[in-house]
Amino acid sequence: MNPFPHYSSHKEKLKLLSSGSLNLEENVRQFIGRIEQNIHLNCYLQVYKEEAIARAQEISNKITNGTGGKAAGMVVAIKDVLSIKDKVTSSGSKILSGFLPLYTATAVQRLIDEDAIIIGKTNCDEFAMGSSNENSAFGKVLNPVDESCVPGGSSGGSAAAVTAGLCDAALGTDTGGSIRQPAAFCGIFGLKPTYSRVSRYGLTAFASSFDTIGPMTNNLYDLALILELIAGTDERDASSAPLPVPRYSVNLTSEEKLTIAIPREYFTAGLQSEIRDKVEELKSFLSVQGYDVIDVDLPMTEYAIAAYYVLITAEASSNLARYDGARYGFRTATSGNISDMYTQSRTEGLGKEVKRRIVLGTYVLSSGYYDAYYAKAQKIRRLIKEDFDKAFQKADIILTPTTPTTAFKLGEKSDNPLEMYLSDIYTTGANLAGIPGISIPLGKDSRGLPIGIQFLTKQFNEENLLKFSNFVVQNFKS
Ligand code: GLN
């Protein structure tokens, strides 16, 4: 599925560039050509063609002089919820169409500082709310593996762009699964870091106590490298963790035989049998390899989706109050008093799913219902976190499917929000608990659709996830 690029990781790309056997400008032009040929996938909202070519020339010289950064020449796509100074950042919403940010998100800036080439902005569900990328104000994205299927969401444009070879790597965001779920549906790698590992400065806020930024790639080395570059404390985001960042990409191998836990509650009726089988195969393989594979209980799992959708809608209703037609992007043409202008701008500028969540979130925060819904969901969040803490006393890694099914058909769930929400059943736990998670591609189902397997670990233990994933990728024949 991934005939392009021809190198296996950025490490190899850099070698080819340094030796002169790969011409960076040519490489960028090839990406642009492929983007143009695949316009129907609707992965990109903007492509910075001329700038990317100019950057390629500049960075090529740096590589020749030996002054290139760690990501020199890596062609990266950015989910359109991340700001880049003076570049339209729509967040997939009509209400922000034409909005030009005054600054660049820290995660993006750190890649630019290491000489990555930003090729464009990728499509996503409006304000990152969705699991199928059908909620974008700028049209749906198709899954390159099977164009009749969704690519997953909300970072669907990023996932599809990586899968189709329209960039080397992409940044996505994950509030409830939006990196891992599309990575699984498109057959790539996606990593949701520990909450606060990566600065959220310049990220359009959806649910601020859940939102994370992370890499989406077609190989583990690039995943490790990008995380290493974007992570770390940032004076512009007071919630960013003041902890040192390991050089994840330097050593991805580990002989350590960890304890791997399988949560019983994740293997329920809605799980596609081929995904269940894949987990079983992997389980047996790990046992044979000398890993201790145990069962654990995460008893609060059944409340995760409910708690998630109460809390994130509450946070979203507050975060999205700023889009009033006066300060950003779109304003209605209708005349009237200021109150009419607010109402009409929001009515015309926001999509159906976003409105649904604002209404829900406002309701759960309203006096009289606050304790029954919001406060209760906060308590459940705490209990879910405690479930994970207990499991991690016994195990290093929790192994689960990333999603209950492989990619579903376009339109299949768009009229049924509850069903759509259920596709986040295995991913929201990590966001509620603030722990890191990775989705790696392991084989395909009988329809040729990729299967994603998820590994979770303790906060700030991304290194473990990457090393364990590398062992699986290198040794398990899926
Ligand atoms: N699908 C989930 C939702 O709609 C997750 C979104 C996300 O992680 N940004 O809320």
- The pLDDT of residue 477 is 87
Across the chain, mean pLDDT equals 96
Q: How far apart are CA 54 and CA 44, in angstroms?
A: 20
- Cβ(213)–Cβ(198) below 8 Å: yes
Extended strands (E) in 15-164 = 44-47, 75-79, 117-122
- The pLDDT of residue 266 is 94
If pLDDT is split at 50, 70 and 90, which confidence band does 37 have? very high
pLDDT digits (tens, 9 = 90+) for 413-464: 998 998 899 889 999 999 999 999 999 999 999 999 999 999 999 999 999 9
- The pLDDT of residue 386 is 98
- The pLDDT of residue 328 is 82
Classified as helix, coil or strand, 80 is coil
If pLDDT is split at 50, 70 and 90, which confidence band does 227 have? very high
Residues 176-201, mean pLDDT to the nearest whole number:
98
If pLDDT is split at 50, 70 and 90, which confidence band does 74 have? very high
Residues 16-29, mean pLDDT to the nearest whole number:
97
> Ligand 1 within 6 A of 175 CB?
yes
The alpha carbon of 101 and the centre of ligand 1 are apart by a number of angstroms equal to 23
Active site residue 446: no
If pLDDT is split at 50, 70 and 90, which confidence band does 2 have? very low
- The pLDDT of residue 1 is 43
Indicate if the pLDDT at residue 198 is higher than 80: yes
Half-sphere exposure of 277 (CA within 13 A, CB side): 9
- Atom number of ligand 1 nearest to Cα 129: 4
- Atom number of ligand 1 nearest to Cα 353: 4
Q: How far apart are CA 372 and CA 334, in angstroms?
A: 39
If pLDDT is split at 50, 70 and 90, which confidence band does 335 have? confident
How many domains does the chain contain in total?
A: 1
> Burial, 161: exposed, middle or buried (Cβ in 10 Å; 0-12, 13-18, 19+)?
buried
- Residue 248 is part of a domain; what is its CATH number? 3.90.1300.10
Residues 175-180, mean pLDDT to the nearest whole number:
98
Give percent above pLDDT 90 in the chain: 94
Classified as helix, coil or strand, 197 is coil
> Ligand 1 within 6 A of 149 CB?
no
- Atom number of ligand 1 nearest to Cα 181: 1
Q: What is the DSSP string of 334-379?
A: --S-HHHHHHHHHHHHS-HHHHHHHHHHHHHHSTTTIIIIIIHHHH
Contacts of 434-437 with C-beta under 8 Å, sequence gap 24+, read: 434/194, 434/195, 434/196, 434/385, 434/459, 435/194, 435/388, 435/459, 436/191, 436/192, 436/193, 436/194, 436/197, 436/460, 436/461, 436/462, 436/465, 437/180, 437/191, 437/192, 437/465
The alpha carbon of 315 and the centre of ligand 1 are apart by a number of angstroms equal to 13
Classified as helix, coil or strand, 199 is coil
Q: How far apart are CA 195 and CA 213, in angstroms?
A: 9
If pLDDT is split at 50, 70 and 90, which confidence band does 339 have? very high
Helix (H) or strand (E) holding 419: helix 417-422
Number of CB atoms found within 10 A of residue 150's CB: 31
Choosing from 154, 155, 240, 345, which is the catalytic residue?
154
Q: How far apart are CA 315 and CA 433, in angstroms?
A: 16
Please give the residue range of the domain that contains residue 379.
1-478
Amino acid residing at 326: A
Residues 284-299, mean pLDDT to the nearest whole number:
97
Q: What angle do CA 363, 367, 369 make, to 5 degrees?
A: 55
Q: Directed axis angle between helix 10-19 and helix 220-230, to 10°?
A: 90
pLDDT digits (tens, 9 = 90+) for 238-277: 999 999 999 999 999 988 889 999 999 999 888 999 999 9
Residue located nearest, by CA, to atom 5 of ligand 1: 176
Classified as helix, coil or strand, 58 is helix
Query: Candidates 129, 173, 357: which one to mutate for ligand 1, based on the most atoms within 8 Å of Cβ?
Result: 129
If pLDDT is split at 50, 70 and 90, which confidence band does 82 have? very high
> Ligand 1 within 6 A of 212 CB?
no
Sheet of 44-47, strand order: 44-47, 117-122, 75-79, 169-174, 212-217, 189-192, 437-444, 450-456, 397-401, 259-263, 292-296
> Ligand 1 within 6 A of 27 CB?
no
The alpha carbon of 355 and the centre of ligand 1 are apart by a number of angstroms equal to 15
- The pLDDT of residue 369 is 94
